Amino acid sequence: MTPREAVAAVVDPELRVVTIDELGILRDVETDEHGHVTVTITPTYTGCPAMDVIRADIGAALRAAGHGDHEVRTIFAPAWTTDWISAGGRDKLAAAGVAPPGPSGGPVALSIGVRCTHCGSPDTEQLSRFGSTACKALWRCRACGEPFDAMKAY
C-alpha cells in the first residue's frame, strides 16, 4: 500500500463513515527519496478536538503499511471549506443521517433546501446553528417530525 493509499483510508473520528480524504482534511502526501513521508492536513474548525486523534490515526496507518518514517504537518491556509468534501463523501454523509452541506458561498451561507435524512422531505427547519460537533447544525423535519444533523456550509 502506498503512503497516499494508507493515509487516504483513515476515517474521520467523529464522522466515521467518511475518510479524511473525502472530507478534504487531507491536503498532501509526499515521499522523498529516502522514504520519509510528509502528510499535510488542515483542520475543519480551529478548535476541532478531533485533530489530535486524526494525527495519531495517520501515524498508525502509515506504520501499519510499513512507512514508519513520517511526519504530519498542519496548515491553516487556504482555510478548509465544505466545498472540498467529495461527491462520494457527501453521499456517505447523507446515508449516515448527516445532511451534506450546500455550496459555502459566503461566511454564513443560508442553507437552502436541506433535505430530511429520514424521509427526504425538503420541508425542514433549523433548530440550532450549533450541533453535536463544530461542523454540524441541528435541524428538524416538518414532514416526519424527526430531528437530524446537517453539516454547516462553511
Partner 1 sequence: MTTVDYVLRLGDDALITAQRLGAWYAAGPEMEEDVALANIALDQLGAARLLLTYAGEREGAGRDEDALAYQRDAAAFRNCRLVEQPEPDFAAVIAKLLLLSAFQLPLYEALAAGADERLAAIGGKARKESAYHLDHSTLWTLRLGDGTDESHERMQAAIDALWPFVDGLFSGEGGPVAPAAIRPAWTSTVEDVLKRATLSVPAPVAEPAGERPHLVELLAEMQELHRAHPGARW
Give contact residues for partner 1 (rule: CB under 8 A). 43, 45-49, 75-80, 107-108, 127-132, 134, 138, 152, 154
Between 9 and 134, whose beta carbon lies closer to partner 1? 134
Closest CB to partner 1 among residues 75, 143: 75
For partner 1, the closer of residues 1 and 109 by Cβ is 109
> Would you say 55 and 70 are in contact if contact means Cβ atoms under 8 Å apart?
no
* Min separation Cβ 111 and partner 1, Å: 13
Identify which of residues 52 and 69 has a Cβ nearer to partner 1 in the complex. Answer: 52
Q: Helix, strand, or coil here: 74?
A: strand
The three grid cell numbers given for residue 76, joined into one nine-digit string: 491553516
| Residue 104 CB, nearest approach to partner 1 (Å) | 9
Task: Kindly write down the DSSP assignment for every residue of 15-65, as one continuous string.
Answer: STTSBHHHHT-EEEEEE-TT--EEEEE--SSTT-TTHHHHHHHHHHHHHHT
Cβ count near 8 (within 10 Å): 16
* Residue 78 preceded by cis peptide, ω within 30: yes
Minimum distance, C-beta of residue 149 to partner 1, in the bound complex (Å)? 12
